């Protein structure tokens, strides 16, 4: 019996105004836009004009600004369009709860946790850019996705690479996960010079164009620290199975080493649209206009061991994984406060790791979270302690 056109896939993008959010909309547009997809909800924070124009262009059903003070401005911008408007944390959760089968989680930081959990809980496929969900809520988040019944599709380029080369039926033969790191703008800088750098220098990533916070986290290698913990939960591997290697060209996006000596890698240009597209059309591959690798022009691919003396964040990730408990939550919460203070010019670049470590030490004995409330409590406590240390 003919039933007409197949129903369109329903999508929601949490954090559509950010770097990942805009790239996601670009991929959606290239894969057919409104002819191929129904946009359920889009969310932003500050940039109401951009959010409103995205909502109109993609025919969203709901637009949400996390910033309650901008509710009336958004309402006004969308007057007469028929697009529903909401604001604040409850608005974000409302967006996540609407019945989209695929949700891109691209809000930056811990603010992404509650809405992403809401989407996971109702069984949506989660395209996960927001690594903080896994760093902060680890096993509870994975469990929420499993119970909801949706798929967890990693978007972070390293984890997307591993996802692409992980052979599902060969998990028993997996020996190591090798996360590549560009090393950031200070890869070769002496420690003494790193002391005085500002947010403006730190945000200039050599290869990737990203949001402000993740760019600075890349410079301090806190981004790689978060990604180690992310990999542990995403792929259920032991801390000892996670290796980090500095690869300044960012062409090899990550690798998996197997027990027969084989190493499988995923390579590509540094363009997040490949990972986003893979998560959107999985298990199919889609067609995207990202720059093609020309091996005759790639002069070389370099690899070097990371220097944990200059980039202590990597050591902190290992400490957090070994201690277990809520140390991932604590590392992330303290780091977010320290990062805000660095951006505001209140602390130095190297102070971020020092403050994070001090907070982790103080909360070293807090037991593992058995419910999300424990995660939120540990996060609050880590933030409070970090703020006090910053003064």
Q: Which residues sit at the interface with Mg ion, rule CB under 5 A?
A: 156-158
Considering only residues 61, 125, 132, 336, which one is a binding residue for ligand NAD as defined by CB under 6 A?
132
Counting contacts by CB under 6 A, is residue 131 touching ligand NAD? yes
Residue (66 or 330) nearer to ligand NAD, CB = 66
Report d(CA 65, CA 15) in Å as an integer: 9
What pairs with residue 125 in β-bridges?
102
Task: Tell me the closest approach of the beta carbon of residue 359 to ligand NAD, in angstroms.
Answer: 20
- Which listed option, Mg ion, ligand NAD, none, makes contact with residue 131 (CB within 5 to 8 Å by class)? ligand NAD
Q: Taking CB under 6 A as the rule, does residue 258 contact ligand NAD?
A: no
- Compute the least distance from the CB of residue 227 to Mg ion, in Å: 6
Spatial CA neighbour of 226 closest among 328, 122, 308: 328
Looking at residues 100 to 129 of the shown chain, list those that interact with ligand NAD (rule: CB under 6 A): 106-108, 111, 129
CB of 106 to Mg ion, least distance (A): 13
208 binding partner (options ligand NAD, Mg ion, none; Cβ < 5 to 8 Å by kind):
ligand NAD
Does 19 engage in binding with ligand NAD (CB under 6 A)?
Answer: yes
Q: How far is the CB of 346 from ligand NAD (least distance, A)?
A: 19
Region near ligand NAD per CB under 6 A, out of 13-21, 247-255, 258-266, 292-300:
13-21
**First vs last C-alpha separation in the chain:** 70
* Contact residue for ligand NAD among 11, 12, 15, 333 (CB under 6 A): 15
The CB-of-226 to ligand NAD minimum distance in angstroms stands at 7
Contact between 389 and ligand NAD per CB under 6 A: no
Strand partners, 371: none
| Matching residue, tokens 């909401």 | 86
The span from the CA of 321 to the CA of 227, in Å, is: 12
Q: How far apart are CA 273 and CA 202, in angstroms?
A: 24
Sequence-ordered alpha helix ranges (H) in the chain: 19-30, 48-57, 71-77, 88-97, 113-121, 132-148, 157-165, 191-194, 199-202, 212-220, 222-235, 273-281, 313-323, 327-343, 351-362, 372-390
Which of 20, 119, 228, 352: binder of ligand NAD (CB under 6 A)? 20
Nearer to Mg ion, 129 or 341 (CB): 129
What is the distance between the alpha carbons of residues 276 and 346, in angstroms, rounded to a whole number?
Answer: 35
Lay out the site mask for ligand NAD across 68-107 (x = CB under 6 A, - = otherwise): ------------------------x-------------xx
Exposure string of 335-357, with b = 16+ CB inside 10 Å and e = fewer, is bbbbbbbbbeeebebbbbbebbb
Question: For residue 229, which phi and psi values (nearest 5 degrees)?
Answer: -70, -40
Residue number of the CB closest to ligand NAD reads 18
Query: For residues 206-225, which are near ligand NAD according to CB under 6 A?
Result: 208, 210-212, 214
CB 101 within 8 A of CB 119: no
Task: Sheet containing 242-246: give its strands across.
Answer: 242-246, 174-181, 252-258, 263-267
Q: Which segment (146-154, 183-191, 204-212, 241-249) binds ligand NAD by CB under 6 A?
A: 204-212
Q: How far is the CB of 303 from Mg ion (least distance, A)?
A: 17
Q: Are 345 and 199 in contact (CB under 8 A)?
A: yes
Spatial CA neighbour of 359 closest among 316, 322, 324? 316
Per DSSP, 347 falls in state S
Least distance in angstroms from the C-beta of 5 to ligand NAD: 31
Binding site for ligand NAD (CB under 6 A): 15-21, 44-46, 66, 92, 106-108, 111, 129-132, 156, 208, 210-212, 214, 272
């Amino acid at each position: 019996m003919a039933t007409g056109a197949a129903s369109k896939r329903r999508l929601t993008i949490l954090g559509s105004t950010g770097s990942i959010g805009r790239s996601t909309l670009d991929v959606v547009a290239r894969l057919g836009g409104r002819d191929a997809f129904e946009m359920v909800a889009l969310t932003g924070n500050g940039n109401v004009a951009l959010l409103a124009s995205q909502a109109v262009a993609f025919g969203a059903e709901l637009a949400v600004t996390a910033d309650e003070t901008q509710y009336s401005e958004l309402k006004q911008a969308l007057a007469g369009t028929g697009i529903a408007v909401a604001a604040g944390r409850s608005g974000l959760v409302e967006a996540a709860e609407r019945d989209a089968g695929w949700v891109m989680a691209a809000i930056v930081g811990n603010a992404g946790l509650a809405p992403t959990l809401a989407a996971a809980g109702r069984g949506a496929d989660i395209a996960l850019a927001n690594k903080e969900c896994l760093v902060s809520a680890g096993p509870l988040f994975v469990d929420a996705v499993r119970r909801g019944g949706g798929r967890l599709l990693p978007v972070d380029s390293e984890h997307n690479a591993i996802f692409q080369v992980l052979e599902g039926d060969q998990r028993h033969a997996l020996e190591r996960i090798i996360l590549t790191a560009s090393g950031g703008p200070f890869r070769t800088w002496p420690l003494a010079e790193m002391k005085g750098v500002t947010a403006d220098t730190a945000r200039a990533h050599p290869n990737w164009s990203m949001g402000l916070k993740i760019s600075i986290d890349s410079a301090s290698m806190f981004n790689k620290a978060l990604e180690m913990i992310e990999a542990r939960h995403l792929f259920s591997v032991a801390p000892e199975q996670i290796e980090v290697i500095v690869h300044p060209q960012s062409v090899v996006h990550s690798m998996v080493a197997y027990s027969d000596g084989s190493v499988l890698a995923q390579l590509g240009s540094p363009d997040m649209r490949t990972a986003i597209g893979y998560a959107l059309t999985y298990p199919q591959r889609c067609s995207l206009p990202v720059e093609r690798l020309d091996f005759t022009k790639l002069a070389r691919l370099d690899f070097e061991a990371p220097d944990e003396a200059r980039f202590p964040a990597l050591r902190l990730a290992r400490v957090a994984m070994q201690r277990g408990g809520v140390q991932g939550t604590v590392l992330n919460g303290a780091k977010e406060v320290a990062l805000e203070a660095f951006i505001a010019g209140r602390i130095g670049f190297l102070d971020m790791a020092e403050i994070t470590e001090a907070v982790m030490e103080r909360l070293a004995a807090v037991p593992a979270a058995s419910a999300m409330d424990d995660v939120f409590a540990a996060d609050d406590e880590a933030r409070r302690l970090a703020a006090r240390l910053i003064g």
